[in-house]
Structure 1
């Protein structure tokens, strides 16, 4: 059975588990409970009901959008699921976001190679991404 991509928001526990499995940082239960319902766009990839991939876009929906949580469980990496997730999210951006909206992301490792296929460009040295993590 092929994995199925749906336009829905993952559950709190499965979201946190997939982030960890994919090597992303662990988010708090409280943070996920607040943040997930506020997604501007969200896709899930499931195989036999299990969440094996996901991606979301957050933001104000008009001026700024940010691609987050692109994650695929290790057993399914390298099979094109990341590209399917990004394509679904970018289809939503092109269908719903107004002209001149800025869409950003932070690419881990070599992920920038995937994102470049969707028109994203590295901004350094003209600009530098920055992050503040509350602890």
Structure 2
């Protein structure tokens, strides 16, 4: 499993509503993930979904870049990507701590895969 090509990654982020990234950022970072998966639509050859995992390789695993093109949503693509990534994590580290930041559109998908809110015990933070 590998990440999509840079152009496909940029398009997936833009069209699925994720924040924009520069080509230089993507070229520098796309191969740095612990694991990645992407889905190609058989009939068109178009990359329609993706997800990546960043990790220390031992205990902490963080799922990022979950995206499916709007015209291909609600067809099981996000589920397939999440299942594949979680399977890899579990095979490598069965008791791993797996986290993600959930934007509202993805919450139902993440909840189906066992993710729960961490608040009020802990909350996600980022440096502005």
Pick one of 97, 107, 110 that aligns with 1:112.
Answer: 107
For 1:69-80, list aligned pairs within 5 A.
69-80=65-76
Unaligned runs of 5+ in 2: none
2:92 corresponds in structure 1 to 96
Number of residue pairs the alignment of both structures matches: 126
Aligned-residue Cα RMSD (Å) equals 1.4
3-state SS, counterpart of residue 52 of structure 1? strand
Q: Runs of at least 4 residues of structure 1 off by over 4 A?
A: none
1:59 corresponds in structure 2 to 55
2: CA distance, partners of 1:85 / 1:118:
11
TM-score (norm 2): 0.91
2: CA distance, partners of 1:129 / 1:81:
26
Unaligned runs of 5+ in 1: 1-6
Decide which moves more: 66-75 or 113-122.
113-122
2: CA distance, partners of 1:21 / 1:97:
33
TM-score (norm 1): 0.86
